[in-house]
C-alpha cells in the first residue's frame, strides 16, 4: 500500500528560544504529515470533494493544521481554524531530558484571509498554506470562468510555486471549479462520513467521527509518476480518517473575512445551494457525454447530436458551462469537441 503519511523530522535550522518554541516542537513531533511531502520542498494543491457533512471542511482544515500550523507556518483561511493542545508536565520533562519542569497549552489559530490582498498577489501570502472553504463560491467558479475574480485567482494559482504556498480547498463537486484550478490540483480526495454507510446507519453510528477517503493522485506529487491517476486509472486504496480527537478544530460558521455569506457545518451556503440547484443537472449531463465519448472512442459530436444529449436548447450560458467542462465548439471541424480526460467524479467507488 502506498503511504499517504510522512514522518515529521526535526528542523535543526530553527532555533528554539522560548518555552513555547520547545512545546511546539514537542507537539509537532507527535504528528506525521498527511498527504504532504515536506522533503520535496514544493507547494501542494489538494481538493476535498464530497456532499454536505461529508468531511470536506474537516479534511481541508486538518491538512492546514497538521502540515503547516504545527510547524509554526501561517495558514490563511476564510473559516476559523483553531485548536489547543496541552503538553503534560511528564511529557515536557521526558522530551527535554528534564530541561523543562512543566508543560503548558499551545493555541493554534489561522490567519484571516484577505481576498483582495490575495488577488493582488500580496507578498504576505508566502511560505504557508491557503485553506479555502467552498472555493467555487468566492474564487474559482466554473459558471463565471471569464469573470475578473476567476482570472485573478488563476494568476494566484500560477504564482503558488514562486510563493512556496500550498492550497487546500473544498467543494461539493470539482466540476463546479474552474478548469485551470482543476488542472493545477495535485491530489483529489473524495470524502464521505462513514456514519452514512448502510451498515453503520443500521447500528446508529454517530456522525462526524470517521470519514472514508478515496485519494486520487492527480500528479506524481503524492505517490510518484508511476502511480498517478492518468497511469493507473484508479485511486489509491481507501483509507479511514479518524477525526474524533480533532473535534472543534474548525468552525465554518465563523468566517474570517467581512462581507461573506454565512454557512454552517452541516449545510452549504445559500449561494452554493442556489448554484447547485441551477447547474447540477448539467454537470450530470456533461459526465454522461464524456463517459460515452471515452467508451466509444469518438470525441467529436455533430452540431445536431449535442442538443438531444443535453436535453435543452444550447443557450449561451449552457455553452459556456460545457466549455469549462471540456465540451466546446471546434471552428475548424465545425463539430463539438469532447476533451478526453477523466475526472475523479466520473469514477465509481
DSSP label at residue 216: E
Per the CATH hierarchy, to which homologous superfamily does domain 5-267 belong?
A: P-loop containing nucleotide triphosphate hydrolases (3.40.50.300)
What stretch of H or E contains 293? helix 270-296
Task: Give the sign of the dihedral formed by CA 138, CA 143, CA 148, CA 154.
Answer: positive
Global pTM? 0.73
Task: Give the sign of the dihedral formed by CA 44, CA 168, CA 118, CA 185.
Answer: positive
d(CA 212, CA 55): 9
Short-list 1, 118, 108, 25, CA closest to 62: 108
The low-confidence residues of the chain, meaning pLDDT below 50, are 1-2, 141-150, 256-269, 341-349
Which residues is 85 bridged to in the sheet? 106
Give the model's pLDDT for residue 182. 82
How many of the other CB atoms lie within 10 Å of CB of 231?
Answer: 13
Give the model's pLDDT for residue 72. 94
d(CA 249, CA 227): 32
Does residue 310 contact residue 287 with C-beta atoms inside 8 Å?
Answer: no
d(CA 38, CA 347): 29
Domain locations along the chain:
5-267, 274-346
Cα-based distances in Å from 22 to 8, 99, 105, 152, 271: 15, 10, 12, 40, 44
Q: Three-state DSSP class for 105?
A: strand
Cα-based distances in Å from 205 to 50, 210, 349: 19, 10, 21
Which residue in this structure is represented by grid cell 465548439?
329
Please give the radius of gyration of the chain, using alpha carbons only, rounded to the nearest integer: 22
How many of the other CB atoms lie within 10 Å of CB of 142?
Answer: 25
pLDDT for 161-209, tens place per residue?
A: 889 999 999 988 766 676 778 888 999 999 999 999 989 898 899 999 9
Does residue 33 contact residue 64 with C-beta atoms inside 8 Å?
Answer: no
Give the model's pLDDT for residue 139. 66
d(CA 238, CA 231): 18
Amino acid at each position: 500500500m502506498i503511504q499517504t503519511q510522512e514522518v515529521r523530522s526535526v528542523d535543526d535550522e530553527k532555533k528554539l528560544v522560548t518555552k513555547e518554541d520547545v512545546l511546539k516542537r514537542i507537539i509537532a513531533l507527535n504528528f506525521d504529515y498527511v498527504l504532504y511531502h515536506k522533503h520535496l520542498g514544493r507547494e501542494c494543491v489538494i481538493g476535498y470533494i464530497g456532499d454536505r457533512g461529508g468531511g470536506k471542511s474537516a479534511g481541508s482544515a486538518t491538512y492546514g493544521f497538521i502540515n503547516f500550523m504545527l510547524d509554526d507556518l501561517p495558514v490563511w483561511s476564510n473559516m476559523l481554524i483553531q485548536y489547543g493542545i496541552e503538553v503534560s508536565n511528564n511529557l515536557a520533562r521526558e522530551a527535554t531530558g528534564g530541561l523543562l519542569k512543566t508543560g503548558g497549552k499551545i493555541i493554534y489559530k489561522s490567519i484571516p484571509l484577505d481576498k483582495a490582498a490575495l488577488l493582488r498577489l500580496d507578498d504576505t501570502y508566502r511560505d504557508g498554506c491557503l485553506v479555502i472553504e467552498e472555493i467555487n463560491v468566492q474564487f474559482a467558479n466554473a459558471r463565471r470562468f471569464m469573470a475578473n475574480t476567476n482570472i485573478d485567482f488563476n494568476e494566484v494559482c500560477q504564482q503558488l510555486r514562486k510563493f512556496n504556498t500550498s492550497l487546500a480547498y473544498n467543494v461539493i463537486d470539482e466540476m463546479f471549479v474552474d478548469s485551470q484550478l482543476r488542472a493545477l490540483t495535485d491530489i483529489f480526495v473524495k470524502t464521505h462520513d462513514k456514519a452514512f454507510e448502510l451498515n453503520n446507519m443500521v447500528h446508529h453510528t454517530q456522525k462526524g467521527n470517521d470519514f472514508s477517503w478515496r485519494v486520487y493522485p492527480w500528479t506524481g506529487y503524492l505517490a510518484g509518476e508511476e502511480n498517478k491517476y492518468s497511469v493507473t486509472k484508479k485511486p489509491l486504496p481507501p483509507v479511514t480518517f479518524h477525526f474524533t480527537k480533532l473535534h472543534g478544530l474548525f468552525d465554518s460558521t465563523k468566517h474570517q473575512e467581512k462581507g461573506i455569506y454565512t454557512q454552517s457545518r452541516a449545510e452549504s451556503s445559500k449561494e452554493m445551494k442556489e448554484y447547485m440547484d441551477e447547474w447540477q443537472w448539467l454537470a450530470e449531463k456533461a459526465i454522461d457525454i464524456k463517459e460515452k465519448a471515452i467508451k466509444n472512442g469518438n470525441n467529436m459530436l455533430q452540431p445536431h447530436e449535442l442538443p438531444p444529449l443535453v436535453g435543452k436548447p444550447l443557450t449561451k450560458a449552457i455553452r459556456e458551462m460545457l466549455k469549462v467542462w471540456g465540451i466546446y465548439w471546434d471552428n475548424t471541424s465545425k463539430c463539438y469537441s469532447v476533451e478526453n480526460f477523466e475526472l475523479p467524479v466520473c469514477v465509481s467507488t
